[in-house]
Amino acid sequence: MVGCRSLLTVLVTLAAVVKSQQCYGVDGSLLDKSYTPCNPSAKNSGCCASGDICLSNGLCMGTQGASIGVIFSRGCTDSTGKDVACPQQCSGGSSNSNSASTTAAWQLETCDSGEYCCRAANSTKSCCNNPTAPRVTSPLSATLQIPAPASTPAADSPDQEPASSSPRPTLPITSNCQEEKTHTAIVGAILGGLLGGIILGLIIAVRWMYKRERRQRRLKEHYETQMSKTNAYRKALEETVGSARPSLSLEQVVSKS
């Protein structure tokens, strides 16, 4: 009888542990195994998708594809989402603001006003201009959580070390501002280089056109000068020949000579 009771106690304990590790979406729906608690040793914890970075406020930061740097509210181990460990940023908005259907996860979009609005995680439509979308006016302050592997029950062993109850280390979250500044600096440098190249090209083109026009003007002046001299010499020659032989024209004089 004692053995049966011990076995029953172990089974109940295992069932409680398994239940505490289950993740629920913000609408209370049960999530699949690709979502895991950020702090398995805690009574309740925020949940993130595989590959996400856990934040201490229960939110998640995407690290793959188009979700890199995007903040999500995935869910919690508390199906009601009311525990303090659960993400509270989009609370009161369990329904998709763009439709009547419920959403299991939220995505926080940064608006021009500096606020955040919540939209369905799989939505591509901006929620900044949607007056019914949940809003987050306070700054998102959080630290990165280093997830610890969930402990699994094992038989007592003399070599087994007791589990540590000390809190897991946290790292300050890296702000996207530095990345944005770097990106802005790179874009500025590229635009500056292009603008400088265009200006330099315009200066070279104007200088070449100015030299070309001046050369053509000089050639024209030289041609006009030479023509003027030729005409003057021709006229003088005709006058000389005309005074010497009035009966002969200039062409006759030239042909005879």
C-alpha 7, offset from chain centre: 55
Section 107-113 average pLDDT: 87
pLDDT tens, position by position, 196-220 = 899 999 999 999 999 988 888 888 8
The SS3 call for residue 80 is coil
Cβ-contact 90, 81 below 8 angstroms: no
Q: Residue 215: its pLDDT value, please?
A: 85
Q: What angle do CA 12, 17, 18 make, to 5 degrees?
A: 95
Section 30-48 average pLDDT: 90
What does residue 76 show for φ and ψ, rounded to 5 degrees? -155, 165
Within 13 A of 145's CA, how many CA atoms are on the CB side? 27
Q: Residue 98: its pLDDT value, please?
A: 45
Q: How many CB atoms within 10 Å of residue 196? A: 10
pLDDT confidence tier of residue 257, bands split at 50, 70 and 90: low
Average pLDDT, the chain: 73
Section 247-255 average pLDDT: 58
Q: Residue 9: its pLDDT value, please?
A: 45
pLDDT confidence tier of residue 76, bands split at 50, 70 and 90: very high
Q: Residue 198: its pLDDT value, please?
A: 93
Q: Which residue has the higher pLDDT, 47 or 145?
A: 47
Q: Residue 99: its pLDDT value, please?
A: 43
Section 9-37 average pLDDT: 71
Q: Residue 159: its pLDDT value, please?
A: 42
pTM of the model: 0.47
Residue 156, pLDDT > 70, answer no
- Look at the alpha carbons of 71, 85, 25, 95 in this order and tell me if their dihedral is positive or negative: negative
Q: Residue 227: its pLDDT value, please?
A: 80
Section 144-173 average pLDDT: 44
Section 169-183 average pLDDT: 53
DSSP state at residue 65: G
Q: Which two tokens stand for residue 99?
A: 């439709």
Strands, E assignment, the chain: 24-25, 35-37, 47-49, 53-55, 60-61, 71-73, 75-76, 106-110, 116-120, 135-136, 143-145, 170-172
DSSP state at residue 100: S
Q: Which of 104-108, 123-127, 144-148, 252-256 has the lowest mean pLDDT?
A: 144-148
